[in-house]
Chains A and B, each alone.
Chain A
């Protein structure tokens, strides 16, 4: 059972990779197993999250299932 975390922008540098596989389960448990610095950054209030390509309004109660993709999106800068 595994899910995938995707790290955009500067979060990729912190994570050391653009994505990683994690065991499926509650997001709290997934974050608790990461490096503390990375977990803190992922919880930053300016970081948006998208589950399977859909933006989430809040991150309460997220449980990652098999094959789910959770993306962490820091402030954007295009153009």
Chain B
């Protein structure tokens, strides 16, 4: 593909059990997709100041990464993209730790923005993750909010 660095793959999907550096990932993604005129991204991080001491994401090996890869393929098929990056953490995270990074590179911004929006809605409420938060030493499982399902329904 003209303008792309040699060997840049269209889709990069990762499930990580250790912290990652969103700025470095985004810089590498932008460099790998030099032919794209626009790059949109979303970073989800653990909220600070809500009394949450720790957030934990669990996954199920046989389903979670394959499901993320399916989501990436669906996203890529729906918009004209030159690159798509999906990184999602599992394990325990502290406030301000990055949880998820989605970035899309496209020739035109609308495709990039919509692709990120679509992928995030599906990661929130249709991917194989289970989330719990520790507040005051007590762990509570978090279930999707009504708004998450309404967000998802926008794409039907």
Contact = CB atoms under 8 A, between A and B. Distances in A.
A75 to B, nearest CB: 5
A15 to B, nearest CB: 13
B120 A9 contact: no
Contacts of B88: 78-79
A76 B90 CA distance: 13
B57 interface: yes
Contacts of A6: 60
Contact of A53 (B63, B127, B132): B63
Interface residues of A, number: 19
A71 B60 CA distance: 9
A76 B125 CA distance: 6
B19 interface: no
A71 to B, nearest CB: 6
Interface in A33-79: 50, 52-53, 55, 69, 71, 73-79
Contact of B142 (A13, A55, A77): A77
6 contacts: A71-B60, A76-B126, A76-B144, A77-B141, A78-B129, A79-B44
Interface of B: 44, 57-58, 60, 62-63, 88, 99-100, 120, 123-132, 141-144, 148
